[in-house]
Amino acid sequence: MVTTPAAAYAPTGRTATVAADAPEQIVNGTFDNGHAPWWGTPNLTLDSSTGQLCTNIPGGTVNPWDVIIGQDNVALVAGETYEFRFFGQATPARVGKALIQLPVDPYTQYLSANPELSVSGNNYRYTFTSPVDLPNAQVAFQLGGSAEPWTICLDDVSLTGGAEPDVYVPDTGPRVRVNQVGYLPKGPKNATVVTDATTPLPWKLRDGAGRVVAYGHTTPRGLDPSSGQNVHTVDFGRHTRAGTGYTLTADGETSRPFDISSAFYEQLRTDALKFYYTQRSGIEISETLRPGYGRPAGHVGVAPNQGDTVVPCQPGVCDYTLDVSGGWYDAGDHGKYVVNGGISVHQLMSEYERSVRSRTGEPWRLGDRTLALPESGNRVPDILDEARWEQEFLLKMQVPAGRPLAGMAHHKIHDDSWTGLPLLPHVDDKRRELHPPSTAATLNLAATAAQAARVFRPFDRRFADRNLAAAERAWAAAKANPEIYADPNDANGGGAYSDPDVSDEFYWAAAELYLTTGAKEYRTFVLASPHHTGDVWRERGLDWGNTAALGRLQLAVVPNGLPDRSRVKTSVLQGADRYLATLRAHPYGIPYNPSDNLFDWGSNNLIVNNAIVMAVAYDLSGKDRYRDGVLQTMDYIFGRNALNQSYVTGYGEVASRNQHSRWYARQLNPDLPNPPRGTLSGGPNSAIQDPVAQQKLRGCAPQFCYIDDIESWATNELTINWNAPLAWIAAFVADQDNGDGR
């Protein structure tokens, strides 16, 4: 999340018009007689001798606002829609930032555009509606942040009111929606057709050579509230021949191409896990191990970083400092949060546990030397090396003995205010702070440390012992302080991750401690918890704030002596049957049923987490319907959806690639990479909290509340807790080989 809202966009769809008599708000935008009243930061020499405004931009600056060309005292009227135009040219080509904003802190941005300036030059045009009456707004071209010097020329800068707002219309391509990556040869194969027809339509499946290999009729499904579309479904599951370049045709439209194959899940199994290495804090990312992604270590006590080796608390919270270096950055920000790190590292460890325990597991696929890590070759499975990088950080967040609240875990550590994009971790110059301990963080530590004690024991006894001691201390501290909640308003510079109910975290932690130790205290707690017998299978799904299902799943799959273990297992099948029923009733095959059809922040992770429940049900029962439910869920993620796109970078003909991130910020700076292959986007979010989404998606039907724009942090972020279920499911599906486990 950032506070730098982007409130405008290059027009897509209907083009706005401006009243011809709308007054011009910019003074001297043509630079025909000098450049006053335009100003530049002291590191610029403005030159208007050619009739354009040109200047050399120095290299070696860090932030966009280190170099600015601006004009002040531009009047805005609330509710008025403006058109902002200019000509811009850059040598070499660069992405700039054009802002119309409050001229003083907090520099609220009413328009934020990222023009891609080319050597030949372009005309740019944006519209925005002013939310305020302001006599003295500022027009600012922010041009800093480049290592190398460059030159820019601007001309014909204009701001006129009375524009009609643009209407954003996403390009959703052909009306036949398929899993653009592919279907397993022996797995289910379903598609969705958007059509006004009310009676069945003929469909044809063509192979890569264009031959019709199957045909049939669609099933009309009526109006789908998650998309607002009238839809039909197609079932072509009887076609089992592997191949590439298949297409499906119905109602005069031909789908994007797809494969019938199992190879891509094998690739995703490692890609989704490789994601974590480039999220690491506190270590240099090796260009050799990750070509295109090498970068210096972030937050290792080297200026301009402040931390994370000697981190103080927020003022008044504690009087000590901690070394909390390492771990993974949470998402597109540089924060590190124990609750979210907890579920992420848990799901990596449980992916490992599943691989060694389940009937179809292939642990060697996650073994040593599978993920190209600095630790590869140390005889420890790479998936555990990666998990340990985070677990070591979680251990460091525990309050040391002798301090107030000893044994609790600090809720989070992050910058004391939000930074802008792009910003590589090693150049973040904000003060880093520890936030107060919380019961939720403490229980996340107890749960993951208990699990680590179990999982790492065969590889490193001392590490296992260290984790067990930390887990037991954390448990005791949480029992002694059961109601210390993170402040929901503590969200300046980092997410709040607040959670007013930690009874589910207590259950999950007790479950892990019981599974590792067998101790009576934890067993008694588990059996007495309302979550042990209650309905933990939320329609919305499990996530960082709803962890009861994690405890239940672990008690079902990890051997233990609970008296009601068979009931626990049966309950997983019941949960899976519920998700399966939801999926079957849904014409896009989504096992997710939020009330009023309001999709959550990170809906994709909830959906994939519900697939995990079905996958565990398959592991427990061997019943095909659960495995088929998992595969159908992935069809949605890979393109069988209203937007006709895959949500995983590098997978599918049209896929998310501009996820919100300060360092995979190619959309803002072509010198930076896109997120690595195998990165899941958060996905549709009905609440559209960020300005880009608010500008473009207002009134969206749930599945349309998404945009692949780097500034849309509410719909398009990447996170460690969203890639974890993706990795878990990728491994599960890869284990199914052709879709029948053979």
Strands 311-312 and 321-322: antiparallel
Told to judge if 717 belongs to the known catalytic residues of this protein, a careful annotator would answer yes
Told to judge if 35 belongs to the known catalytic residues of this protein, a careful annotator would answer no
Q: Which stretch binds ligand 9MR (CB under 6 A): 232-240, 341-349, 493-501, 632-640?
A: 493-501
Q: Give the nearer residue to ligand 9MR in terms of CB position, either 532 or 660.
A: 660
- The SS3 assignment for 465 reads helix
How many Cα atoms occupy the beta-carbon half-sphere of 647 within 13 Å? 31
Omega of the bond leading into 106 within 30 degrees of 0 (cis): yes
Binding status of residue 409 toward ligand 9MR by CB under 6 A: no
Q: Give the nearer residue to ligand 9MR in terms of CB position, either 328 or 497.
A: 497
Alpha-carbon 620 to chain mean position: 30
Helices within 422-563 (DSSP H only): 439-455, 461-480, 503-517, 520-528, 530-533, 548-557
Binding status of residue 490 toward ligand 9MR by CB under 6 A: no
For the CB of residue 1, give the shortest distance to ligand 9MR in the complex, in Å: 5
Q: Give CA separation, 665 vs 37, 261, 660, in Å.
A: 33, 32, 8
Q: Which stretch binds ligand 9MR (CB under 6 A): 240-248, 306-314, 495-503, 633-641?
A: 495-503
Binding status of residue 81 toward ligand 9MR by CB under 6 A: no
| Residue that the structure tokens 């510079």 belong to | 493
Binding status of residue 142 toward ligand 9MR by CB under 6 A: no
Amino acid in position 301: G
Q: Which of 591, 572, 500 is nearest to 532 (CA)?
A: 572
Binding status of residue 422 toward ligand 9MR by CB under 6 A: no
Q: What is d(CA 435, CA 487) in angstroms, rounded to the nearest whole number?
A: 10
Q: Give the nearer residue to ligand 9MR in terms of CB position, either 185 or 684.
A: 684
Q: Which stretch binds ligand 9MR (CB under 6 A): 259-267, 443-451, 467-475, 712-720?
A: 712-720
Q: What is d(CA 647, CA 661) in angstroms, rounded to the nearest whole number?
A: 15
Q: How many helices (H) and strands (E) does the chain have?
A: 14, 28
Q: Which of 111, 134, 127, 125 is nearest to 162 (CA)?
A: 127
Binding status of residue 62 toward ligand 9MR by CB under 6 A: no
Binding status of residue 309 toward ligand 9MR by CB under 6 A: no
**296 beta partners:** none
Q: Give the nearer residue to ligand 9MR in terms of CB position, either 335 or 342.
A: 335
Amino acid in position 122: N
For the CB of residue 488, give the shortest distance to ligand 9MR in the complex, in Å: 8
**Mask 441-480, x = binds ligand 9MR (CB under 6 A)?**
----------------------------------------
Q: What is d(CA 171, CA 652) in angstroms, rounded to the nearest whole number?
A: 15
Helices within 622-703 (DSSP H only): 624-637, 691-697
Q: Which of 308, 660, 711, 735 is catalytic?
A: 660
Q: Give the nearer residue to ligand 9MR in terms of CB position, either 213 or 496.
A: 496
CB 651 within 8 A of CB 677: yes
Q: Give the nearer residue to ligand 9MR in terms of CB position, either 274 or 414.
A: 414
Q: Which of 266, 543, 708, 709 is catalytic?
A: 708
Q: End-to-end CA distance of the chain, in Å?
A: 44
Binding status of residue 719 toward ligand 9MR by CB under 6 A: yes
- DSSP calls for 612-632: HHHHHHHHHH--HHHHHHHHH
Binding status of residue 717 toward ligand 9MR by CB under 6 A: yes
For the CB of residue 660, give the shortest distance to ligand 9MR in the complex, in Å: 7
Binding status of residue 711 toward ligand 9MR by CB under 6 A: no
How many Cα atoms occupy the beta-carbon half-sphere of 136 within 13 Å? 4
**Mask 565-604, x = binds ligand 9MR (CB under 6 A)?**
------------------------------------xx--
Range list of β-strands (E), 306-408: 311-312, 321-322, 336-337
Residue of the chain from 496, 527, 562, 654 that contacts ligand 9MR (CB under 6 A)? 496
Binding status of residue 418 toward ligand 9MR by CB under 6 A: no
CB 591 within 8 A of CB 607: yes
**Mask 599-638, x = binds ligand 9MR (CB under 6 A)?**
--xx------------------------------------
Q: Give the nearer residue to ligand 9MR in terms of CB position, either 331 or 729.
A: 331
Q: Give the nearer residue to ligand 9MR in terms of CB position, either 9 or 544.
A: 544
Binding status of residue 415 toward ligand 9MR by CB under 6 A: no
Q: Give the nearer residue to ligand 9MR in terms of CB position, either 1 or 184.
A: 1
Amino acid in position 337: Y
Which residue's CB comes closest to ligand 9MR?
A: 495
With b meaning 16 or more CB within 10 Å and e meaning fewer, what string describes 284-307? ebeeebbeebebebbbbeeeebbb
Binding status of residue 128 toward ligand 9MR by CB under 6 A: no
Q: Give CA separation, 359 vs 362, 561, 622, 741, 742, in Å.
A: 9, 21, 9, 10, 12
Binding status of residue 692 toward ligand 9MR by CB under 6 A: no
Binding status of residue 428 toward ligand 9MR by CB under 6 A: no
Q: Using CB under 6 A, which residues numbered 323 to 342 contact ligand 9MR?
A: 330-331, 333, 335
Told to judge if 708 belongs to the known catalytic residues of this protein, a careful annotator would answer yes
Q: Which stretch binds ligand 9MR (CB under 6 A): 199-207, 374-382, 453-461, 492-500?
A: 492-500
Q: What is d(CA 222, CA 123) in angstroms, rounded to the nearest whole number?
A: 45
Q: What is d(CA 732, CA 235) in angstroms, rounded to the nearest whole number?
A: 23
Question: Which residues make up the interface to ligand 9MR (CB under 6 A)?
Answer: 1, 330-331, 333, 335, 495-497, 601-602, 713, 717, 719
Q: Residues with catalytic annotation?
A: 660, 708, 717
